[in-house]
Amino acid sequence: MHRGLIVQKFGGSSVANVERIQEVARRVVDYRRRGYDLVVVVSALGDTTDELVELANKINLHPSEREMDMLLSTGEQISVALLAMAVHKLGVEAISFTGAQGGIITDTSHTRARIIKINADKIKEELKKNRVVIVAGFQGVTLTQDITTLGRGGSDLTAVALAKELAARECEIYTDVDGIYTTDPRVEPHAKMIKEITYDEMLEMASLGAQVMQARSIEVAKKFDVPIHVRSSFSKNAGTLIIKEVKRMEDVVVTSVTINKKAAKITICSLPDRPGVAAKIFKKLSLEGVNVDMIVQNVSHTRQTDISFTVSKSALQKAMKVTRKAAANINAGQIIADEDIARISIVGVGMKSHPGVAATMFGVLAKKKVNIEMISTSDISISCIIKKRFAERAVRALHKEFGLGK
């Protein structure tokens, strides 16, 4: 019985040791025996990639990106070979492929390459022979046969791109959580797993700091309408389906509450309030590779204004240096850094047709005596910057108010 093709992706924690590899093999074989054709994408074993990076840095603190890709790509190559051996052991035919052998053709941007096409002929050939095809995630090859890696979230991208190319019925992303939750269960024990969520909501959540999947792969899935199923490699439970449109009860406005403590805020005081001043500062930051997230500028009644923006904590030092220099040139006042902040967001496509969601959010925070320092909104999300110590309290109150624990 042919049930169609599924692409399954297993992350590093799912293949962290021999026992887990065997566990993955059992799952793969179970699917195969139930009649599915399978392409399995695997990441490097556990901490292999980190260990290789460490080894490289002992030799050269600024290794060539081409050589770094050459080095790191061995991690997934080891995984696919071992998984193939484990599947064979269970009596099922399987064959492993590197990214290059799998036909994952990328541009030449080493360490962050983009897939430009997939030559899936070899994979299709092996599928026809009823073999499970196991492909190394995270890696590809340029047209001139240089090995590349796809950067963060690369294995997910490999899986989604293969699912698209092979017209798979679903792309399963196996991870160490059950699925996508209404909020972080460590913060709110009543958090519930979401059964279905739209690409747009998931994209918003990813950009707001949800760590299950990178925005890149969700964007590709959205573009080609590839259904993604995020689920646990440690259980057989269904997880979260990420799809184009979700049929929900009318009153579901907010799908999730996210929390992000990795941001820091920079405020430039007494900025001359004339056109082009802000542009100058943000151009400098961008040239130096500092990603700015939220930006808020107060309306000014004098000829001076304050401007605040957030960057990731890891970029704070660099951002402060660049900002100080830029601000000095334009005669601005004090520069204040604040690491003691959290970003709390609510996400939901339902917002589009429900006015007053922002007001509800602000009301909840006010009732909980949480001061809002910055606000930013998109079509399907509202974010507030608050003091870090209020984060958990705010999340729980919002989660309750929008009925997410039910």
Q: Which residues of the chain form contacts with a copy of itself (CB under 8 A)?
A: 18, 21-22, 52, 55-56, 58-60, 63-64, 66-68, 70-71, 73-74, 77-78, 80-82, 84-86, 88-89, 95-96, 98, 100-101, 122, 145-147
Cβ atoms of 10 and 233 closer than 8 Å: yes
Distance CA 216, CA 135 (A): 19
Q: How far is the CB of 394 from a copy of itself (least distance, A)?
A: 47
3-state secondary structure of 323: helix
Structure tokens at 217: 């792969």
Distance CA 392, CA 257 (A): 11
Q: Pairing between strand 132-136 and 37-42?
A: parallel
Q: How far is the CB of 353 from a copy of itself (least distance, A)?
A: 53
- Closer of 89 and 195 to a copy of itself (Cβ): 89
Distance CA 166, CA 160 (A): 10
Q: How far is the CB of 155 from a copy of itself (least distance, A)?
A: 17
CA proximity to 389, closest of 361, 360, 369: 369
> Could you tell me where the DSSP H helices lie in 181-259?
199-207, 215-224
- Closer of 139 and 383 to a copy of itself (Cβ): 139
- Closer of 86 and 206 to a copy of itself (Cβ): 86
- Closer of 21 and 281 to a copy of itself (Cβ): 21
Kindly tell me the sign of the dihedral angle through the C-alpha atoms of 285, 290, 291, 296.
negative
3-state secondary structure of 74: helix
Cβ burial 7-46 (10 Å sphere, 16+ → b, else e): bbbbbbbbbbeeebbbbbbebbbebbeeebbbbbbbbbbb
95 forms beta bridges with: 133
| Residue 400 C-alpha from the chain's centroid | 26
Q: How far is the CB of 43 from a copy of itself (least distance, A)?
A: 15
- Closer of 1 and 59 to a copy of itself (Cβ): 59
